[in-house]
Chain A
Amino acid sequence: MENTLLRLENISVRFDGEPILNNIDLDIKDKEFVTLLGPSGCGKTTTLRIIGGFVTPDSGSVYFNGKLMNDVPAYRRPVNTIFQKYALFPHLNVYENVAFGLRIRKRSEKEIRETVNEMLSIVNLNGFNKRSVTSLSGGQQQRVAIARALAVSPKLLLLDEPLGALDLKLRKDMQVELKNIQQRMGITFIYVTHDQEEALSMSDTVVVMDNGNIQQIGTPLDIYNEPKNAFVADFIGESNILDGVMREDYCVSFAGHTFKCLDKGFGVNEPVDVVVRPEDLDVVPKEQGMLVGEVTSVTFKGVHFEIIVDIRGFKWMIQTTDYYPVGSTIGLTMTPDDIHIMKKSEYSGKFGDYSSYSDEIDELSENKEAEE
């Protein structure tokens, strides 16, 4: 645990009697890019606001560099925030917005000028000094907000869904840019998002949250390949999640067959959740398949087809570059490496079956999240 920058210990929060966070423990290392990932209402933004000093936890402690921060007000914390809607000051121009924190700190006019110009060039806004912030596009406003926060050289930068309001193309560009800025300036970033792709591509560490609890902490690769429970497996990427029984170490039964796998340490005949990622399944002629089923829907996604296959009443999702028409019977194979075993949890049976799957429903719920 050397160079831990921030530590949350046993944090609990309730709003109007509703529990928002339950005993959150979190260690964040210096210069790390940490993402808090979860659906809306999971407590990720509240966690960020506790670190920023805008919410006081009901119990638990916040340590910064080993020092207790609970009673330190927001304006004395060495932490800065990028707000969801940027929160630029409309009565000040771009230059004065970036200079704001420096003026509060009573820096000399010369130092302010140098820092502001440096920050504006970091975010590629040279020559925008005199512009009114209300005349800028969303992406430009976002850059001003970043420059404003960086200007006061924080040790830790909190980002609350900073790219949520931008369109897809711009969002991808900004992801790369943010990551670059983080590495170049050597600042710790805590990034809040509900976009799993964003979390996987930018972070050193991903913290998956749901219902006020941390579900899993790990590198993006760990989270994707070794999800701890059905919630994580479903939230990160697509997953087929089946009920299975662990026969012995390296041997699991599900979907009416017994398979070799790479997992061990479960009890004999212990019920488990089995995860198979859609892209890991290979389609073969039905005679060669470990599993055989009928195609019930095909969706073209650009890079690949998304095929739903009915195997003994369970709908599997498969991603493949080859086209198989609806109604055809195909075989599936997988290697032991493709099978991931999880302990049963409160989320078992809630996720990972594509029987009610439809693009429309998915999109609707995504829009809803975006609005929030």
Chain B
Amino acid sequence: MNKERNIAGKIYIAVIFVILYAPIAVMIFFSFNSSNSMSEFSGFSFRWYNELFHNKDAGQALLNSLILAVSSSIISTVLGTAAALGIHSMRSKRIKKVIMNVTNLPLMNPDIVTGVSMMLLFAFVAGLLHSLHMFGFWTLLIAHVTFNMPYVILNVMPKLKQMDKSLPEAAMDLGCTPFKAFTKVEFFEILPGIASGLLMAFTLSLDDFVISYFVTGESFQTLPVFIYSMTKKRVVPYINALFAIIFVVIFILLLVRNFMSKENKHAAK
């Protein structure tokens, strides 16, 4: 009976994984197709990868996405960590709760609402400044930092709560100014939270389409926006190759994160 249930469970899990990963597997498979058919595999080749790397626009979009992801994740990590520290040190529990809810709200907010409202705001400011070419890197950066920051706060806060609050006091007791106490002691305590916040911000920024779509401009296209504009014309098989690469990169990032949290648990022992 137990054994039967075991087997049934395994089959169930297998089916779920097939459903989850079959599309990706098919996509990766066809990225190695030698013809441009999406239904017939006519032979193994790196043709589409080759074409992808020679396509200037795709390369530029990828580079743009990376620049945006790196800069927005670093900025939001710095700001978010600072915000978490401030919220953590608040005396009044009530105000703390209110602030936490305010920071959490954007997480619940549908992307489309955030995107459209951001666009309206930027358009309004552009109108005030009489500059019509405002949309581009800077609007994207502001938008990405905005939606990333709550995730960083959410990752850093638990680490601050877990930390023995006499640790920064001990540092000050031994002669550290409050700022030094942070850089010499507190920082190392909450580092795992900061790191996972950074990683999350990076992947979210890389991944984002909806918000980026509304605040982007001609001058600066991110990869998801570029791909979307491409699909409007004709699906070119080299996007399969592109997706395959993105999937592998995200997969590696995920492995790194898991590895890091394992290390953490180890260190905690």
Contacts and interface: CB of A to CB of B under 8 A. Distances in A.
Interface of A: 52-54, 73-75, 79-81, 83-85, 87-91, 100-101, 104-105, 134, 148-149, 152
Interface in B252-269: 267-269
Nearest to A49: B169
B116 interface: no
A83 B169 CA distance: 9
A148 B170 CA distance: 10
Nearest to B177: A75
Contacts of A53: 172
B207 to A, nearest CB: 32
Nearest to B175: A104
Contacts of A73: 172, 177
Contact of A85 (B164, B173, B176): B164
Interface of B: 164, 166-167, 169-178, 180-181, 184-185, 188-189, 267-269
A152 B169 contact: no
Contact of B170 (A79, A81, A134): A81
Contact of B185 (A89, A101, A105): A89
A52 B180 contact: no
Given A89-B167, A100-B171, A104-B184, 7 more contacts: A54-B169, A85-B164, A90-B188, A90-B267, A91-B185, A91-B188, A152-B175
B174 A101 contact: yes
Nearest to B173: A81
A148 B166 contact: no
Contacts of A87: 164, 166-167, 169-170
A100 B174 contact: yes
B166 A83 contact: yes
6 contacts: A73-B172, A75-B174, A75-B181, A89-B185, A90-B188, A149-B174
A93 to B, nearest CB: 13
Given A83-B166, A84-B166, A134-B269, A90 B189 contact: yes
Contacts of A88: 170
Contacts of A52: 173
Closest A-B pairs by Cβ, 8 of them: A101-B174, A87-B170, A91-B188, A87-B166, A104-B175, A83-B166, A74-B172, A75-B172
A168 B166 CA distance: 25
Nearest to A152: B174
The listed residue with most B CB atoms (<10 A of its CB), out of A74, A79, A88, A100, is A74
Contacts of A83: 166, 169-170
B170 to A, nearest CB: 4
A12 to B, nearest CB: 19
A64 to B, nearest CB: 15
Nearest to A76: B175
Contacts of A134: 267-269
Contacts of B269: 134
Contacts of B268: 134
Contacts of B184: 100, 104
Contacts of B164: 85, 87
A84 B170 CA distance: 11
B169 A74 contact: yes
